[in-house]
Structure 1
Amino acid sequence: MSDKDTATLLKEVSAELVRVSDDFTKKAEAAMTEVKNAGKLADETKATVDEMATKQTELVGVVEALKVQLGEVEQRSVRRPGGGSDRTKSVGAQLIADEAKLKGFSASLQGGQRLNIAISDIQNALLSSGVAEGVVEPQRLPGIDVMPKQRLFIRDLIAPGRTGSPAIFWVQQTGFVNNAAVVPEGTKKPESTISFATKITPVATIAHLFKASKQILDDFAQLQSTVDAEMRYGLKYAEEQEILFGDGTGVHLEGIVPQAQAFDPAFTVEFQTPIDDLRLAMLQSQLARLPADGFVMHFIDWAKIELTKNQVGDYVLANPLRLAGPTLWGLPIVPTEVPEFQGEFLTGPFKTGAQLFDREDANVVISTENNDDFEKNMITVRCEERAALAVKRPEGFITGPFSS
């Protein structure tokens, strides 16, 4: 069908639509009058109104399809002067292209006929052909899905400090014999003794490296910030393990747990539970004149304590309907996920009994001059820190296994 025939047919169908709409309006008004007078609508009148409504809907669809066809023709004439056929046709274009079917439908508008289009024709109209790979890009989700991380709180318990030296030299009081007493006038006064010892705590370096392509970090800024954050987290994770479990050999920090006192309660209670263990450990610290200010334990052990119930099934500590920070006996709980620490606990005077001295804060440095990085256009990302841990009062820290 030519463009001229399409325009003519559009004009004819539009005129027919106007006529049908007018007839439908008049019939609808008559139906309303009939309902008002008779109280109901006759079946014959209802069938006529439904038929006219169906015709009007069909005509609207044909008019819209014709408009789409004319719009496509105009666009093709602008893009490709001189004509040419499309490789694929829209549903509206296929409708107009079937000239015999469309003319038959137009001629029989009064007969209530419908125009049918095969599903295969519609599918072909919706499929693109000859599209090069990569033209339709996949949807990219924002951000980077990073791995879950353990919360790190041990440093928050310990007193902070700074140093500008490669080692910490400090003096520790190791003993005090108190012989103070009431004495008569003119007699020799009793003598007390105070013992001191010197301590040297070296500054340790905690570090790790990461290799990456220079192009990927230059082209993907978020990846660079993610690498920065991940490396800093890895450094702090290693730092926490050293603070807790460093054995002091070689360049390791001398951690708190290896220096802590074994749990030796002053007394025991009947049906002793982990909750009792922690209170007795607090007492042991108090008897050492160094009151505890926190607990460290595994996530699993803390969950078991929270789920402790009494004989009637009520929770002893937890309230599932209320959010509260992890505390017990008035002290904060610092959970850890170190497998070796499951079933054990640590308590003590973290603020007064230990101090972490930062010599060099955690920092990230990028270099292209490591090994053959320059030749391969690679970079080396280094993250490191330097710190020293001084456990000044190890007798105040108590560690041991929970009661089963």
Structure 2
Amino acid sequence: MKTKMLMASAAILGAMTANERMAGRYLRDGTGHPDPKTAEQLAADVKKMFQESLDKVKEIADEALGKAKSGENLSTSLKEKADEALMKMNTLQEQVSEMEQRLARGTGDGKDGEKSIGEQFTEDQKVKEFLGQKMPRGRVDLAVKATITSATTNAAGSVGAALQATRLPGVVELPQRRMTVRDLLTPGRMDQNALEYVQEKLFNNNAGMVAEGAAKPQSDIQLELKSTTAKVIAHHFKASRQIMEDLAQLRSLIDNRGFYGLAFKEESQLLNGDGTGQNLLGIIPQATAFAAPITLTSPTSIDLMRLAMLQAALAEFPATGHVLNPIDWTWIETLKDAGGNYIIGDPQGSTAPRLWNLPVVTTQSMQVDKFLTGAFQLGAQLFDRWDARVELATENEDDFIKNLVTLLFEERLALAVYRPQAFIYGDFGRVV
């Protein structure tokens, strides 16, 4: 009996595989054309027919199993009924599956994708009835739900403005220049706005050998009173109180930029200030012009800087350093001899820049094709009246009512160039 039951089940299952390949793709009406019903109606009809076919298969299976249990052989007609029922059930099952997929995509007419607004309007039943009138009068409308997109235009469904980009932490700041000139000078403090000092302008030395009882020669010395005043370097930022409290990174950025801005302006003033108005009188406007003490044949840039050192030494102010633009220092480092070997540059070297045993300081505050060689600590001094500082205020009425904060950064300083002969300012002559 067990063998007969297995034979009955195999007959039904074998018919399923054979008949699945015979299933149709769509329901058809009596004319052979697609049924004019809507997709939802077709889906409901197909599901109903599928359930009826499933019940029929169950009925045949129960009959076959009953005969197998009683020891009866399955008739040929019963097998044919099973094959026919299974084929119909498989066909309907495939149709149900495909129609469900198309309904999930928003269309049941064999077309993928969403209908345009124009298609929705022309296919709307109310619109069709209105246009079908002989003399249509009145109005008809269609409510269309917009597709939600990532667009940021002023249109329905545009939600791009609500999408948040991935924000990396911190702020990518602009590069900062390394300040060097202040460190070359002797530091000092001042208690008042004005700074005065007596400078020796002339010394006529007539000292000589004197015989007993003879008159002694007279030497002349000329002194000059020099004065300078402290100048203020300052700038400020505006920020809301909410930002100052909510974003610590912004506070740090403003602090760094605030003090960096002061140092940036200070370095330019120490070198190039012309002394007019509120400008410092810098080192270069007071320096001694380069004049080669000796004549060399085809001197290089390296030779010119050595001659500047000699000029300062002959003025009794031995140089302590050189100041160059980074472009000029690169030019010097890449000079080669006739054999293609670097004269002073070492691509693998890691020592601090030096030339003729003196440190080389590079800054973009120095003009290209120029050089400054001198005794910096002996020849000049920097005086701080106010150290660089920051002040915060909301005293302005407009700032108060707008929750704004003013951040003021400032410093006050003076520069005294005691010995202009200690600084030699020259031109390499490469740039016309």
Same fold (TM over 0.5): yes
2:413 is aligned, of 380, 387, 391, to 387
1:257 aligns with 2:284: yes
1:356 aligns with 2:398: no
Shift in Å at residue 370 of structure 1?
3.0
Deviations 1:327-377 (A, max 9, x none): 111111111113x70011111111010000000000011111236111111
Partner of residue 240, structure 1: 267
Give, as a single letter, the amino acid of the residue that structure 2 aligns with 1:336: T
TM-score of the superposition, structure 1-length normalised?
0.65
1:315 is aligned, of 325, 332, 342, to 342
Select the structure of larger CA radius of gyration: 2
1:163 is aligned, of 186, 190, 194, to 190
Distance 2:321 2:170 in 1: 37
1:212 aligns with 2:239: yes
Give, as a single letter, the amino acid of the residue that structure 2 aligns with 1:349: A
Shift in Å at residue 135 of structure 1?
10
- How many residues are aligned here? 276
Distance 2:303 2:396 in 1: 55
1:186 aligns with 2:196: no
1:345 aligns with 2:371: yes
Deviations 1:361-396 (A, max 9, x none): 000111112361111111111100000000000122
1:177 aligns with 2:204: yes
SS class of match (1:284): helix
SS class of match (1:194): strand
1:141 aligns with 2:168: yes
Shift in Å at residue 268 of structure 1?
2.4
2:393 is aligned, of 367, 375, 384, to 367
Distance 1:235 1:180 in 2: 50
Distance 2:364 2:280 in 1: 20
Unpaired segments ≥5 residues, structure 1: 1-119, 121-128
SS class of match (1:266): coil
Partner of residue 318, structure 2: 291
SS class of match (1:341): coil
Contact 1:171 1:199 in 2 (8 A): yes
Partner of residue 302, structure 1: 329
Contact 1:273 1:403 in 2 (8 A): no
1:198 aligns with 2:215: no
SS class of match (2:338): coil
SS class of match (2:351): coil
Distance 2:268 2:400 in 1: 35
In the TM superposition, what are the counterparts of 1:70-85 in structure 2 within 5 Å? Answer: none
Shift in Å at residue 228 of structure 1?
0.7
Give, as a single letter, the amino acid of the residue that structure 1 aligns with 2:389: N
Deviations 1:26-76 (A, max 9, x none): xxxxxxxxxxxxxxxxxxxxxxxxxxxxxxxxxxxxxxxxxxxxxxxxxxx
SS class of match (2:400): helix
Give, as a single letter, the amino acid of the residue that structure 2 aligns with 1:352: L
Shift in Å at residue 138 of structure 1?
5.2
Contact 1:262 1:400 in 2 (8 A): yes
Contact 1:288 1:395 in 2 (8 A): yes
Contact 1:277 1:403 in 2 (8 A): no
Shift in Å at residue 160 of structure 1?
0.4
Q: Identical aligned pairs, as a percentage?
A: 48
Give 4+ residue runs of structure 1 displaced > 6 Å after superposition: 132-137
SS class of match (2:389): strand
Give, as a single letter, the amino acid of the residue that structure 2 aligns with 1:267: I
Contact 1:345 1:400 in 2 (8 A): yes
Distance 1:178 1:135 in 2: 85
Distance 2:422 2:346 in 1: 32
Give, as a single letter, the amino acid of the residue that structure 2 aligns with 1:364: V
Which protein is richer in helix relative to its size? 1
TM-score of the superposition, structure 2-length normalised?
0.61
Shift in Å at residue 178 of structure 1?
1.5
Deviations 1:190-235 (A, max 9, x none): 1222221111111101101111122111101121022011110100
Partner of residue 271, structure 1: 298
Partner of residue 14, structure 1: none
Shift in Å at residue 139 of structure 1?
4.6
Give, as a single letter, the amino acid of the residue that structure 2 aligns with 1:229: N
In the TM superposition, what are the counterparts of 1:30-49 in structure 2 within 5 Å? Answer: none
Give, as a single letter, the amino acid of the residue that structure 1 aligns with 2:427: P
Unpaired segments ≥5 residues, structure 2: 1-100, 102-147, 149-158
Deviations 1:101-143 (A, max 9, x none): xxxxxxxxxxxxxxxxxxx9xxxxxxxx9xx999997554333
